[in-house]
Structure 1
């Protein structure tokens, strides 16, 4: 058995993208058709699961450079999401854990692909 740092197969990214788009379509449907802005908790749960699948799956070329970029973006994303959550909590309301996780993974995944293109 080969030990790998990122456990998911690269094809799992498609499942993650599907889950993320499903969650986004649920938010759009609930906002436009039902005019309900209160509870998006199930959408954030599904979106965070999709983002976990996207970020923690292997890349096509999975080498040490990709691992370094992933960990750098993970550090940046979690810290930035933490400080943004502090600001949102101070100004508006207390976000749920799934909202924080979704924000952190969204920032992390975005930063990973930006750093990957620059490298």
Structure 2
């Protein structure tokens, strides 16, 4: 398996085991760019740049929401990218409300670090 394949599989495994923060800390580049759909500004701007801003966005989201019943198809690897098809139930911590959620996540890797992540969902 390639270095990118190893990274993509390990990153996916960490996510599946509820360790999104550990996955970020291990694999995000200091200059990562994180992009959400423009209409998704629930916990911050749609695009953030830099490790500190992306880490804050992730931990802020996790403070408000929990990922339950997580399943991942992939990783699908091509060039310096890998994609994950992610399905989960999101539990809102304040209300206990659960809702299904699906997204496609595409990651760009340089020097064994994720330099860009793009999320696609409705």
Q: Same fold per TM (> 0.5)?
A: no
The normalised TM-score by structure 1 is: 0.29
Q: Higher relative contact order by CA 8 Å / sep ≥ 6: 1 or 2?
A: 1
Q: Normalising by the residue count of structure 2, what TM-score does the alignment of the two structures yield?
A: 0.29
Task: Indicate the structure with greater helix content.
Answer: 1
Identify, as 1 or 2, the structure richer in strand.
2
Q: Which has the larger radius of gyration?
A: 1
